[in-house]
Structure 1
Amino acid sequence: MLPPLSEKELHRLEDLLITYGNDYSVLNLAELNGFFTALASSPVSVNPEQWLPAVAGGKVPKFKKPAHEEAYTALMLRYADQVAEQLAENLDGFEPLFEESEGEEGPAIILEEWCFGYMRGTQVAEWSELPAQQDALLKAISLHGLEDNFELLDAMSFDEHQACVPGVIEAARGLYRYQKLIRN
């Protein structure tokens, strides 16, 4: 079991995501956390060889220095393990890493990045159709994680949007529970 990433290592990982990112890659820790949550919740195991290119937008980046490639890969692998361990060891206490902002209405939880990462993870793992109850859980996440739903989100008030936060958290926990049952 590897130690969780320190704050410094998390900042380094996010810097590497931004430095080597593109329009199709994961660009922040919130999205990466969602991505790894979906992979840990997947009914099938997904190897790093499959998911590393997906994080980078399709293919592993051309690194400027070998040290960047080593750090990028090592930090990614450790963070993937860290998220999986958090889910396995304390599912009821699992909290997704959401972005936060300060708006006119006050502090706000931003669901979109995390949910986009989660949905990307379901695509990489090629999730098959879910039973109705689990499909409803996935819809709570996909509402905020698919471009197709932007109009729906735009029509929501600040309070309606913030009211979705507990549902997304419970959906992530519920999908992990379900996939864990299937794997065993």
Structure 2
Amino acid sequence: MEDLNHPLNEEEIEQLDQFLLNRIDDHLITEEMDEGIFDISTLDGFLTAVVSGPVTIPPSVWLDSVWGDFEPEWDNEEDFSEVLALLIRHMNGIVQTLMEYPEDFEPLYLERILDDRSYVIVDEWCEGYLRGTQLSSEQWQSGGEEIATLLNPILSFTAVTDWKGHDHTDDEVETIQKTIAPNAREIHAYWLTRRDDVPQEELITNHDQPPVGRNDLCPCGSGKIYKKCCLH
């Protein structure tokens, strides 16, 4: 069985990025539809929020948000298992870094070359992080002013603030961007000590999701179905 705790290498990250990018036929997209997540940077931000928040989000919930209105049609179970393994391994890699080597955690940002100068693009990562928080928004709000302050630089590069982070000089933008990674580490540490205080049932009720079924993927992230993993 594949080791789901083994971090993705660069080739596998590129493979996952290309899958997300190419899984939707552009002709099918309309303005009202949710495209889900379609690049590795957005996915990285999304999964960072998922594993850093106040409650445990089972794959049966967060996978729906990854796909949006465009859940892939799988040719066979092997194709699904391969992609799922890449997703779980990337998530577990984030968890391992935040838990064991938090100072080594760095977001997967995009880069753009303009006039022979490299610019860091944080917007996609921040949009992904916001998307992750929205899976349990009420529980995130229970963090009050402390969490709101830590989230501020992340949200300033998202549509909910009309990307206000860009309304500054280049040096000021860079300064704000440099606070994102340490704030993400602090957010993870904040909720880590409080997660047991928020029962999982609240998340399920608030999002009209049924409890994890015997044949659903186990919330622990093993990739096994519930009845053959933590229920056993």
Asked if TM exceeds 0.5, the reply is yes
Go from structure 1 to structure 2 and tell me whether the alpha carbon gap of 1:132 and 1:105 turns closer, same or farther (over 3 Å shift). farther
**Aligned residue in 1 for 2:189:** 177
Among 20, 25, 28, the alignment partner of 2:23 is 20
CA 1:169–1:110: 2 relative to 1, 3 Å: same
- Whether contact under 8 Å (1:39, 1:125) holds in the other structure is no
Contact 1:100–1:109 (Cα < 8 Å) also in 2: yes
2:120 pairs with 1:109: yes
C-alpha deviations, 1:44-71, integer Å up to 9, x for none?
A: 0000000011011146322345443222
- Is 2:44–2:107's contact at 8 Å kept on the other side of the alignment? yes
SS of corresponding position for 2:11:
helix
Q: Distance in 2 between matches of 1:70 and 1:151?
A: 36
Paired amino acid for 1:27: F
| Equivalent in the alignment of 1:37 | 48
C-alpha contact 2:123 2:157 (8 A) present in aligned 1: yes
Give the match for residue 63 of structure 1: 74
* Alpha carbons 1:105, 1:158 under 8 Å: kept: no
Aligned: 1:7 with 2:18: no
TM-score, reference length from structure 2: 0.72
The structure 1 segments of at least 4 consecutive aligned residues displaced by more than 6 Å after TM superposition are none
Contact 1:30 1:114 in 2 (8 A): yes
Q: Is the Cα–Cα contact under 8 Å of residues 20 and 56 in structure 1 kept in the other structure?
A: no
Residues 66-81 of structure 1 aligned to structure 2 (within 5 Å): 66-81=77-92
User: How many pairs align?
Assistant: 183
Over the residues paired in the alignment, what is the CA RMSD in angstroms? 2.0
Please say which of residues 6-15 and 54-63 is displaced more in the overlay.
54-63
Equivalent of residue 95 in structure 1, options 81, 84, 106 = 106
Structure in which a larger fraction of residues adopt helix: 1
Q: Which protein shows a greater Rg?
A: 2
Change (3 A) 1:105 1:134: farther
Distance (whole Å) between structure 1 residues aligned to residue 115 and residue 128 of structure 2: 26
TM-score (norm 1): 0.89
The CA distance in 2 between the partners of 1:74 and 1:169, in whole Å, is 26
Name the CA shift for 1:65/1:158 in 2 (closer, same or farther; >3 Å). Answer: farther
The amino acid across from 1:132 in the alignment is: E
Of structures 1 and 2, the one with the larger relative CO (CA 8 A, separation 6+) is 1
Q: Matched residues, percent identical?
A: 27
Shift of 1:157: 2.6
CA deviation map 1:56-106 (0-9, x unaligned): 114632234544322211111111111111111111221111111122482
5+ residue gaps, structure 1: none
Alpha-carbon spacing, 1:2–1:152, altered in 2? closer, same or farther (3 Å)? closer
Post-superposition offset of 1:35: 0.6
Question: What is the rounded CA distance, in whole Å, between the counterparts of 1:27 and 1:162 in structure 2?
Answer: 25
Give structure 2 stretches of 5+ with no counterpart. Answer: 197-232
Distance 2:103 2:21 in 1: 31
